[in-house]
Structure 1
Amino acid sequence: MSTQDLFRGSLIRFAAPRPEDADELARFSESYEYLIQVDTENAIPQTPDAYGNAGRANTIEFHLRTLEDDRFIGFVALHSIEWNNQAALVAVGIGDPNERGRGYGIEALRMILRYAFHELNLNRVGLDVISYNEAAYRAYKKAGFIDEGRARSAVLRGGQSYDLIKMGLLRAEWEAMQA
């Protein structure tokens, strides 16, 4: 039987959390710019303890490490998994601004989609992206996600409101892109 390595791309690999990763994630959380790109929650720096290995229900998270030098650069997660509906939401975060724009995020998306559809047998992967996060929006479009709607003025940042864009990708759409 021939199988494809679902944990390895051409630039990065999926890895289990290491104790030192929590320190790095806490350092990432000290960047307001980083926090407002990855979440709609209040931007609050966290301690390493907040990134413990306890795990969350209905979430599968991988840490991203470079193949070149095994450097920890961020995470990708499937969360809010509804097994009965074969659906999940995806989130990706590249912590260091110097690591962004190098192809790691799009590769992480492509790898997690392959994992979601081939390993977990999901039928749908969705996401929310804040309208000001244009780089993420472009990456999601490049990965095949389709705009499904918009929650107007759903996110407040710095005294301004922004739309929350809803996007999704179905297994059949993803498979057609692979052909």
Structure 2
Amino acid sequence: MRRTVKDRVSALGRPDRRRLRDGALAALVPFAACSVTLAGLTTWVGAGRAGSPARVDVVHGLVLLPSAGVPETAAFFDIVNEGGSADTLLRVTARGVAGEVSLSEHRMGRGNSAYRSEIDSVSVAAGESLVMTPQGVDLTVPVPMVPWQVGDAVTFTFEFRRSGPVEVRAVVVRPGSVSFQ
């Protein structure tokens, strides 16, 4: 006797609970794997690890003319990241100065007092910029052996985690001659 497809299906019978559960579990495994992968990719993109590489530029450099007898002064720059990934400023050096340039952040204390604290690094998000100011992040620069004059150019090298070194010149200005807003 020859069986038809309809006979074969009816011979299998209706799906019972066990078959339904096994089928649902079989579909759940790929769904869960896709969900975990999508969550990982979303975290990767959100952390700035996806997209185009970081493209950092350092512009508008100013160094304050040091006051007589003071061993250090401040320098300010604008850091622009036009890339698709975040980058981190790790270190800054300056030609012609003895000692280390330090990355600093100014904080307010009680009674309108302010203090400076060294920081190890500063991040610049993708598509964002960091404007250094006396009230925020800036550079503390040792005074050189040969005193600077207003208008002198000082060469700085910024070391970024992803972008690598960026060399830029800053102009020495008299304190109070520039407004930081």
TMscore range, shorter length: under 0.3
Q: Which has the larger radius of gyration?
A: 2
Relative contact order, CA 8 A, sep 6+: which one is greater? Answer: 2
Which one has a larger percent strand, Structure 1 or Structure 2?
2
